[in-house]
Amino acid sequence: MDYKLIITAIITLILALPLLLTFVSRTFLNKMFEIALHYAKKLGFLQSINGVIRVGKTSAQSGLKHLYEIDIQQNLIKIILQTKQVFNYIDFRILDHMIEERLKDIWKGEFKLGISYQIEFDNLTQDIINWFKEIELKDLKSTIIFNFTSAKKSEKYIEDYVFAYFCLNYRKNYVLSKTPIYSHITGSMSYQLDPEEFKINDSYNMRKYAIYDYMVMLVDEYSDDFAASARYDDMKETSGVKDYLRKFGQIHQERNRLITTKQDVKDEIKKLRNLTQSNLWIPIKVEQRGTSRMLFKFIKFIYSFWFRFYDLTIVLFRYIKQKHKISNILLNILIYLLYLILLLPIYLFTSFSFEFPEFKEIDYKRINIKRHIEHRLLHIDWFLFSIGFNKYEMWNYASEEDVKKRDPSTYEKLMFYIPIQYCFGTYDTHYWSMIQKELLTHSQTVSNESNWFNKESYYKQEEDKGSENDDFEF
Amino acid sequence: MMISNFNFIALTSSQDWINFLSGIIISLFITYIFIIIKFNNFINYQIEINDQYRNKMTSQYDKHDEKNDKL
């Protein structure tokens, strides 16, 4: 064999390997994301995410929320396309124009869900049907569409079309949450959810209900009022929470999802037994995939290599020039080489670095370049991390009482690969941090540093506690 | 030479293989240089945007402070 051929083959392999590896891993991750989307569609409409602290519940909730947003958007587009296929004799340019004209009046560019929207949508549907009857002589009221399995009224198709059109083009928001959360799909913040509205009987009486269809509803432990704090009271409840959760799928026509996160599942069992359809348990802490750590290390090495080269050549030469102040260039170079021979082993094998406090100009230039590189590396790090995927292992239990049990017959193991952008940074993880500030600013007490040698009298302290109110009396 | 005429069986001698592989190496080098330039531009663009936002935010806060001072 020719050795030249072997060498060229090895070089080709080394050069081609990064491209091939990137291609394979990216294809794998994208495929797994599609599978995650499929898994998410398979889950029930009421879900609870359970796990111990710091395991990734909130990020999993955020990731699942994004998956459902994609699902909802796909469904809306599907409904619009299907309606257009069903009514091939209707000119949808006219219909869309009618909807747009009316929705402009209703919506007015406001980012809130009004109470009277449902009435307006119903009126709009009726107006459209009447218009088609009078002008185009097409009856949409009393006709049905048969799809070889069942029949659906034409009116219902138009109603769904109007609402889907509104959601897709005007509302552009598919999230209801008490804690604010950002969506990368629509680029908007969530609508406010009041968990009190789940008590449908009360909400009907108080006329206070703003949960619309095509929404992902998020309830986390911080905002979950009726699970943790009120677990024992109101056992025979008449407010309608149980009723609402039991009929959830049918009330919202299987368009909505409710995701709750909690640490301790047993909180809710007492009160709302077995009403959560998919109970997801996260046994292992979330892991990151495809964040290109090796590539980042390589880039870091290249930058540090370049900076060390810059240190040993330009910076050192400048220093010598300024320190010895010799005008002869050749002599300068000679001194530089001497310095280099002395410094090179120290520089290469120890953590020694240059510092020139007496020559500020050289020092500042050098530090500026170093800081510029660090700033750049930070951005590269952020970018490479952001294109990665989060890997969640979730065990899906059908019954809430089985959660945490290691019996394989009770759960189904699911793998979720979700882009990191969908999981991290969508949520203000320190949403209640103002409590600390408010407490501190309101407080009037002081905490002193404790003294090792000074032992305070125990009974004196007791006395002090007793006379708390006399502190300001002298 | 037409691309359709290209045949692996024609690469009989080792010199042919070396020529073929060096062609791949050159094209890979060009690809990498292209990727590095694109990536570099992208990072530059991101840093620029971040700086813009930072300046924008700070200027907004400055204005806010000025207003407060006047009040």
Integer Cα distance of A259 and A49 in angstroms: 7
Confidence band for B71, pLDDT divided at 50, 70 and 90 = very low
Q: Which two tokens stand for residue A220?
A: 């986390």
Question: What is the rounded average pLDDT of the residues A218-243?
Answer: 64
Q: Indicate whether A63 pLDDT > 80.
A: yes
**HSE toward the beta carbon, residue A318, CA cutoff 13 A:** 18
pLDDT higher than threshold 80 for residue A381: yes
Lowest-confidence segment of A249-253, A272-276, A291-295, A399-403 by average pLDDT? A272-276
pLDDT at A456 exceeding the cut of 70: yes
Least confident residue range of A57-66, A110-119, A232-241: A232-241
- Average pLDDT (A307-326) is 87
Query: Does residue B2 carry a pLDDT above 60?
Result: no
Q: Min CA distance, A378 vs chain B (Å)? A: 10
Q: Which residues contact A422 (CB under 8 A, 6 or more apart)?
A: A62, A63, A66, A67, A184
pLDDT attached to residue A228: 47
Note whether A407 contacts B: Cβ–Cβ < 8 A: no
Percent of chain A clearing pLDDT 90 (strictly above):
43
A298 touches B: beta carbon within 8 Å? no
Alpha-carbon distance B25 to nearest alpha carbon in chain A (angstroms): 6
- Confidence (pLDDT) at A234: 52
Q: Is it the case that residue A67 has pLDDT exceeding 60?
A: yes
Q: Return residues 355-394 of A near B (CB < 8 Å).
A: 375-376, 379-380, 383
Give the pLDDT of residue A1: 64
What's the rounded mean pLDDT across residues A350-368?
A: 83
Average pLDDT, chain B: 77
Residue A209 has pLDDT above 80, yes or no: yes
Weakest-pLDDT range from A160-164, A423-427, A437-441, B26-30: A423-427
CB < 8 Å to B50, chain A: 379
Q: Determine the Cα–Cα distance for residues A418 and A387; give it in Å rounded to an integer.
A: 11
Per-residue b/e over B28-41, b at no fewer than 16 CB within 10 Å?
beeeeeeeeeeeee
Strands (E), B3-45: none
Averaging pLDDT over each range in A12-26, A48-62, B12-26, which range is the top one? Answer: A12-26
For residue A379, list chain B residues with Cβ-Cβ distance below 8 A. Answer: 43, 46-47, 50
A356 or A269: which carries more pLDDT confidence? A356
Residues in chain A: 474
pLDDT value, residue A156: 92
Domain boundaries, chain A: 27-289, 293-386
Instruction: Check whether A231 has a pLDDT greater than 60.
Output: no
Q: Is the pLDDT of residue A445 over 60?
A: yes
Measure the CA–CA gap between A4 and A281, rounded to whole angstroms. Answer: 57
Per-residue pLDDT, A195: 82
Indicate if the alpha-carbon torsion angle B54, B59, B65, B67 is positive or negative.
Answer: negative
The pLDDT tens digits for A239-260 are 788 888 888 889 999 999 999 8
Q: What is the ipTM of this complex?
A: 0.72
Residue A151, both tokens:
């029949």
The mean pLDDT of A121-133, rounded to a whole number, is 89
- Tell me, yes or no, if A324 comes closer than 8 A to chain B by beta carbon: no
Residue A373 has pLDDT above 60, yes or no: yes
Q: Which residue has the higher pLDDT, A139 or A26?
A: A26
Window from A107-116, A339-348, A397-406, A432-441 with minimum mean pLDDT: A107-116
pLDDT confidence bin for A171, thresholds 50/70/90: confident
- What distance lies between CA B49 and its chain's CA centroid? 17
CB contact under 8 A, B14 and A5: yes
Res. A132: pLDDT tops 70: yes
* Percent of chain B surpassing pLDDT 90: 35
> How far is Cα A312 from Cα A340, in angstroms, rounded to an integer?
7
Predicted confidence at residue A371, as pLDDT, reads 92
Chain A contact probe: residue of B19, B20, B24 with most A CBs at under 10 A: B24
**One-letter amino acid for residue A153 of the chain:** K
Q: Which of A8, A375, A379 has its CB closest to that of B21?
A: A8
The percent of residues in chain A predicted with pLDDT above 70, rounded, is 89
Predicted local confidence at residue A115, as pLDDT: 66
Q: What is the mean pLDDT of chain A?
A: 86
Mean pLDDT confidence for A117-133: 88
Q: What are the structure tokens assigned to B22, written together?
A: 């060096």
The answer on pLDDT for A435 being more than 60 is yes
B17 contacts chain A (CB < 8 A):
yes
- pLDDT at residue A157 in the model: 93
Indicate the helix (H) or strand (E) that contains A182.
strand A182-183
Beta carbons of A2 and B18 less than 8 Å apart? yes
Please compute the mean of the pLDDT values over residues B57-70 and round it to a whole number.
53
The token duo for A200 is 């449908």
pLDDT of residue A237: 66
